Amino acid sequence: MKARLLVLVAIVFAAAPALAADDCMKRQTQIDKMYGKRFDKQASKVRAIAAEGATLCRSGKTKEGLTKYDEAAKEGGVMVGVADKK
Q: What is the tally of structural domains in the chain?
A: 1
How far is residue 6 CA from its own chain's centroid?
29
Categorize the per-residue pLDDT at 76 as very low, low, confident or very high, splitting at 50, 70 and 90. Answer: confident
The band of 83, judged by pLDDT with boundaries at 50, 70 and 90, is very low
pLDDT score for 77: 81
pLDDT of 62 reads 92
Q: pTM of the prediction?
A: 0.65
pLDDT at 65 over 90: yes
Q: Collect all residues with Cβ–Cβ distance below 8 Å to 84 and sequence separation of at least 6.
A: 23, 26
Residue 24 confidence (pLDDT): 92
